[in-house]
Structure 1
């Protein structure tokens, strides 16, 4: 009884959150609400008589509740021992039910949202716990759910993207692309000098792709350049859209030359125009090998008719597998171009955007960079997710 004479109860923050939740509920017995309030008031140092007067109950009831707390904790103080089906703690089955809910899509449970929020998951658990056979969870707190999911390393509130391998021939196509990179490596000597065969017949390899939808955006007011007082560029939040352009581009993997073609579209006719530019660039005895994806423009009848007019073996296509764009070295160039030149770009006309894109390529080609694949064949095949392999090549 000595413990009962203390002026306060020492409760953990989790216990306080639990009791506060109970004290505000209107769907449980009134005596349980009163008992929760008794423990909270006692933790604040209120006397038995003050608590009894505040709740309009007898001081004996207050004393009994506190006594049961010291005997068996919160559960014993709140709930009568004869109360059926009231477990003293959250069971493993109840925890498994929480995990199952957290791993489901809310839309499949009748909600409009795609991802859970902590608040929505908490409400769903409290609402359906009784019918699921876990009445203890009707009073579960949000901090407990947050802590529990963190312990289980479950994050139903976040999305992490990856690339699904939907190509049945993914491995074989990947192997073919990597073999091309290996062959390119063999075309250089130990000093990095290109080895020219005696017959002067070379296999030129071009890493190719399109970058459609490059937006031409103009300002509605001139930018304010940095000053000693304001060190940043200040720009009016309003802007005007002038349309879009498509960039068809390749990298000569032997020389590092970046090859651009800016167009209004990226149809078969545009792709054919790019091939014609390459055909004029290289000697007739060379083979032009192009690494590219399976875009319809690359495999269309129109493109095939053009290829049929070329000398046999002039062009050879090596297709990357679906969702395997990371295997194509041009992706590194596009990423670099976006960061260096396209980010935040403003122009007065679409023509200016086109001119600046060509200017960028001219600047790059003044000091061309030869790209080399840096993963070995056996290393790349051990990788399972393309997000782990983003831009796995180096420039020298």
Structure 2
């Protein structure tokens, strides 16, 4: 989740009164943004290895994947579902998977040849079902199929929508505190309610 704004409201919200909802001041100070990289365990409903930082580079994401894999070395197979963002099909991820899989092969050169040549060739390698770590990519414009998007929606509604943050560190700390709270009190597997029927004719 990128571009989470640390906005501080200049004035306090106007409280509720009979017949009036709580109202927000529209002026704010923008203290910058944070990016949240997290994984959602579909079996437990828990958020795994959340990282809040200033950047979301391919190195940041590969480090997140490494840390996630290291949470349980006994797992025989990892299935990671994500959208088609460039950092999810990066050179860093290919190198990480090749290292973990113990592959001693020529991966090629980014932009020139081999597995590293293009995003498509890298995605093909990363989604190879023979690997211990298998990446599954949602179709274009269908990232809503990834259950972490439900979590991001909860985060926005419960914390970010009406909050005021005095700094990027304040934003980061409150996001991570919310995730701890979510894992302890709200985490449960999401149940799909859509039955595959046509929504409109």
- Taking structure 2 as the reference length, the TM-score comes to 0.75
Change (3 A) 1:311 1:241: same
Matched, 1:347 2:165: yes
Equivalenced residues, count: 171
In structure 2, the residue corresponding to 1:317 is in which secondary structure?
A: strand
Matched, 1:332 2:150: yes
Question: What is the deviation of 1:343?
Answer: 0.4
Instruction: List 4+ stretches of structure 1 deviating above 6 A.
Output: 227-231
In structure 2, list runs of 5 or more residues that go unmatched: 103-130
Larger helix proportion, structure 1 or 2?
Answer: 1
**1:280: which partner in 2?**
70
Question: What is the deviation of 1:227?
Answer: 6.8
**1:370: which partner in 2?**
189
- After the TM superposition, which residues 106-145 of structure 1 pair with which residues of structure 2 at under 5 Å, given as runs? none
**2:32: which partner in 1?**
243
Larger strand proportion, structure 1 or 2?
Answer: 2
- After the TM superposition, which residues 7-156 of structure 1 pair with which residues of structure 2 at under 5 Å, given as runs? none
Question: What is the deviation of 1:285?
Answer: 3.8
Q: Cα RMSD between the aligned structures?
A: 2.5
- In structure 2, how many angstroms separate the alpha carbons of the residues matched to 1:224 and 1:337? 20
Matched, 1:308 2:127: no
Match for 1:290 among 76, 80, 83? 80
Change (3 A) 1:275 1:324: same
- In structure 2, how many angstroms separate the alpha carbons of the residues matched to 1:375 and 1:299? 29
Question: What is the deviation of 1:330?
Answer: 1.4
Change (3 A) 1:228 1:371: closer
In structure 1, list runs of 5 or more residues that go unmatched: 1-210, 386-396
Question: What is the deviation of 1:372?
Answer: 2.9
Question: What is the deviation of 1:341?
Answer: 1.0
- In structure 2, how many angstroms separate the alpha carbons of the residues matched to 1:375 and 1:229? 39
Whose RCO is larger (CA < 8 A, sep 6+)? 2
**1:358: which partner in 2?**
176
- Taking structure 1 as the reference length, the TM-score comes to 0.40
**2:47: which partner in 1?**
258
- In structure 2, how many angstroms separate the alpha carbons of the residues matched to 1:320 and 1:373? 16
- In structure 1, how many angstroms separate the alpha carbons of the residues matched to 2:20 and 2:180? 30
Q: Look at both structures and tell me which one has the larger radius of gyration over its CA atoms.
A: 1
Change (3 A) 1:326 1:235: closer
